[in-house]
Structure 1
Amino acid sequence: MSPTSRSITNATKGFIMTTGTVKWFNSTKGFGFIEPDNGGADAFVHISAVERAGMREIVEGQKLSYELERDNKSGKMSACNLQAA
């Protein structure tokens, strides 16, 4: 992990908070991707996660911290618990 990237453990849930930059987000389609600061695969983000975080929208280039959760139906990972970074 590079010195500029940041991961912290959420002590209450045991999840790792990761920081990243919104690569793109299409509000019409309701989804987009976050590029993690520490490298690796881009994180899918759905509009429902944005709304649950109390955000109206996210925009390209915006820095966020987030956790990853696995969808029970699809088994795919997506960003959740978004926070401005």
Structure 2
Amino acid sequence: MNDTKTGVRTVTGRVKWFDPARGFGFIVDEAGGSDILLHANVLRNFGQGSIADNAGITVLVQATPRGSQAVEVLAVMPPVEGDRSVELEDLGNTPLEMIETLPIEPARVKWFDKAKGFGFANIFGKAEDVFVHVEVLRRSGLADLTSGEAVSLRIIEGKRGRMAVAVMPWDAGISREAVRVVPPLREPGRGPDLSVRKVAVQR
């Protein structure tokens, strides 16, 4: 879809690379053409602080004097890597259809160590830890998490306790209509502070 008045067009492609430390990355348009700049602020407006290499992505793109640039992220899809995906023992034979019916729960990252390959998060209003594996993160189209980052999770009871089977942007688990209009607190590189949003309803 193209908007000739604003020069904005919709593009679907894959992430060539994205570096949160540098604050940008590039998208390869599946239809061909030059690479598209993806700025960290644009990704953050979608509710993510990182994105996995080769993840599918749909964005609104605008031409600038410096080249094509994404101005809004519309959707993120997990990377497609065939048989390279690592199977998680705790997931067992859980079908995708069942995972997609699990409730979406707002959470905050307690800590995540990409080198170790895992970390933990806490569901908003609950104290127990939820295990987050780096492979689940990758399958969700993310590359990394930072302590204190707001996310949404789908969770199962694994062999070692509660574990995330999907990680999504923070607002995926919040009904915007059911949240009081309170300006969220923001910190650089993080989502809003859910502690000030007292009324939240799962979809």
TM-score over 0.5 (shorter chain): yes
User: Is 1:48 aligned to residue 143 of structure 2?
Assistant: no
User: Is 1:17 aligned to residue 120 of structure 2?
Assistant: no
In structure 2, give the amino acid aligned to 1:59: T
C-alpha distance 57-41 of structure 1, shift in aligned 2 (>3 A): same
C-alpha distance 38-66 of structure 1, shift in aligned 2 (>3 A): same
In structure 1, the gaps of 5 or more residues are 1-11
Q: Distance in 2 between matches of 1:49 and 1:60?
A: 17
List aligned pairs for 1:1-85, cutoff 5 A. 13-71=100-158, 74=159, 76-85=161-170
C-alpha displacement of 1:38:
2.3
C-alpha displacement of 1:14:
3.2
C-alpha distance 21-75 of structure 1, shift in aligned 2 (>3 A): closer
In structure 1, give the amino acid aligned to 2:161: K
C-alpha distance 24-15 of structure 1, shift in aligned 2 (>3 A): same
Q: Distance in 2 between matches of 1:35 and 1:75?
A: 16
C-alpha distance 16-40 of structure 1, shift in aligned 2 (>3 A): farther
TM-score (norm 2): 0.33
Which is richer in strand? 1
Q: Distance in 2 between matches of 1:24 and 1:75?
A: 18
Q: What percentage of residue pairs aligned between the two structures are identical?
A: 25
8 Å Cα contact 2:129/2:162 also seen in 1:
no
TM-score (norm 1): 0.74
Q: Distance in 2 between matches of 1:13 and 1:56?
A: 21
C-alpha distance 28-75 of structure 1, shift in aligned 2 (>3 A): closer
Which is richer in helix? 2
* Partner-residue secondary structure (3-state), 1:14: coil
In structure 2, the gaps of 5 or more residues are 1-98, 171-203
Q: Distance in 2 between matches of 1:60 and 1:13?
A: 26
Q: Distance in 2 between matches of 1:17 and 1:64?
A: 10
